[in-house]
Amino acid sequence: MSQRLKLEIKPLNAIGGQDLVILMSDTLSPPKAADDWLGEGAHALLARAAAAERFKGKALSGLTLLAPDGAGYERLIAVGVGPEDERGTLDFAKLGGAIAGRLGHGRSADVIMALPEGPLGAEHAAAIALGMRLRSYVFDEYKTKSKKPEEAEPIAVTLRLPEPLGKKAFKAVEAIADGVDLARTLVNEPPNVLYPEEFADRAAKLAKLGVEIEILDEKQLKKIGMRALLAVGQGSRRDSRVAIMRWDGAKAGVQPIAFVGKGVTFDTGGISLKPGAGMEDMKGDMAGAACVVGLMHALAARKAKVNAIGIIGLVENMPDGNAQRPGDIVTSLSGQTIEIINTDAEGRLVLADVLWYTQERFKPQFMINLATLTGAILVALAQEHAGLFSNSDELSERLAAAGKATGETVWRMPLGKAYDKMIDSKFADMKNAAGRHGGSITAAQFLQRHVNDTPWVHLDIAGTGMGSPNSETNRSWGSGWGVRLLDRLVADHYEG
């Protein structure tokens, strides 16, 4: 992983970067705060360049010009924020992404953090900073040839704030951005490198932030009775793991909240083997677990005042002489029996045990699980929303609001008796796969049979967690989806 930006925050006293970035609206007049730094002739030059390029200050559009002689900087970059009366709907994180995108292969830049019509609120400044960081993530770990020296050096960006932004707000931005970067890298890593044990080791690195770590190996999992989870991993040469991360940022005794992730480090489908085309994408079948690790990083790094548990089930789903078969019946930790119809419906088996374990051991206020659970969620929602399934209206509404605020949007899907019946089995308490119809819903019903009465949300992120189309804030295959959403949920409702 690498970050192409090194961000710093400084007051607007003296600038010295190679590029000068300003925000411009449809009035095409630079912010007052920039006046002292633009230099002689810059206004006229800007007007000519804008006319020549038909730059109208449209939100997220940009204009790059060479600085006038002796200006003290090399390039002047204007980024559009649209007309003032549409400012309320401007996504400032996307704006930050657009700014970072404009920096290209620059070396250093000063961004004047002021709107054409006046100061920029602290929250908007933070969103811009976050957007810049998110846009600048690149995964080039395994590119040995194409790394040019100018791309290896991060761009030193100084955000010039006429109004001070609290150190704490900026620390939170860095914490969240680092959490998203981490989640993206875990998703992007190849499956020969990132197998369950290695994944657990990466999660264990959160110890340096004060996160308490507990790794359960196969012997312990067997003893606990996580047979459904172990059944998925039994065809793999790699051992399964469950990793537990605990951040205690609130007073002792405050009931924790819990985040649970599906971490299938590679999903071949098992004996119900997937077709070959596109199977390489199944290295991302641990995006739920990656999000949980990224979130725990963010919470700990910004010292969130919350008691939070992150718990991830890590397995590799492989076909083998020892692999589970369609027709097998396994007993999950909850004591319920499951008939395996399709070994490719493995995520729910992993989550069934981890969810049951979580509610029983930690008695959390709620559990939110994230999983690349079904292809069917892509049929229903494409890559625009994650599917949300829940037994709690309050949690669902809070997540919907956090989704709108961060752009990581969710769409609530139904649960109910009739759907639940569809996973009844002829031979066991339930089966792990029903027909094609309502595939995402029956998967969610399966999970619900393992959450008891705990308030619970299942987010199906098969569409949003990987292979997302490029956006202003993301150019990475592994999107890190969910870190911002859940950090926001915590910040808005569960701290202090």
For Mn ion, the binding residues (CB under 5 A) are 267, 344, 346
Tokens (6 digits) for 71: 């200006």
Task: State how far Cα 194 lies from the chain centre.
Answer: 18
Nearer to ligand BES, 20 or 186 (CB): 186
Nearer to Zn ion, 285 or 353 (CB): 285
Quick one: which segment of 138-146, 265-273, 391-399, 485-493 binds Zn ion (CB under 5 A)?
A: 265-273
- 33 interface partner picked from ligand BES, Zn ion, Mn ion, none, CB below 5 to 8 A per type: none
Tokens (6 digits) for 327: 């027709």
H-helix segments, 58-121: 92-102
Nearer to Zn ion, 181 or 267 (CB): 267
Is position 202 annotated as part of the catalytic site? no
Neighbour tally for 118: CB within 10 Å: 12
CB of 412 to Mn ion, least distance (A): 24
CB of 244 to ligand BES, least distance (A): 23
How far apart (Å, rounded) are the C-alpha atoms in residues 4 and 109? 13
Partners of residue 307 on adjacent β-strands: 248
CB of 436 to Mn ion, least distance (A): 14
How far apart (Å, rounded) are the C-alpha atoms in residues 268 and 256? 35
Is position 269 an interface residue for Zn ion (rule: CB under 5 A)?
A: no
Q: Which 8-state DSSP code applies to residue 297?
A: H
Q: DSSP characters for 246-296? A: EEE-S-TTSPPEEEEEEEEEEE--TTSPPPSTTGGGGGGTTHHHHHHHHHH
How far apart (Å, rounded) are the C-alpha atoms in residues 368 and 357? 14
Tokens (6 digits) for 85: 């009366």
Site for Zn ion in 323-382 (CB under 5 A): 347
Is position 274 annotated as part of the catalytic site? yes
Tokens (6 digits) for 267: 């999903």
**How many positions of this chain bind Zn ion (CB under 5 A)?**
4
Nearer to Mn ion, 20 or 318 (CB): 318
Tokens (6 digits) for 161: 């704030």
CB of 166 to Zn ion, least distance (A): 42
The three-class DSSP label of residue 370 is strand
How far apart (Å, rounded) are the C-alpha atoms in residues 489 and 484? 9
Task: Choose which of 19, 181, 198, 285 interacts with Zn ion (CB under 5 A).
Answer: 285
Active-site position among 75, 227, 241, 348 = 348
User: Which residues contribute to the site for ligand BES (CB under 6 A)?
Assistant: 267, 285, 342, 344-347, 372, 374-376, 433, 439, 462
Active-site position among 87, 202, 274, 305 = 274
Nearer to Mn ion, 110 or 267 (CB): 267
CB of 433 to ligand BES, least distance (A): 4
Q: Which residues are catalytic?
A: 274, 348
List interacting residues with Zn ion (CB under 5 A): 264, 267, 285, 347
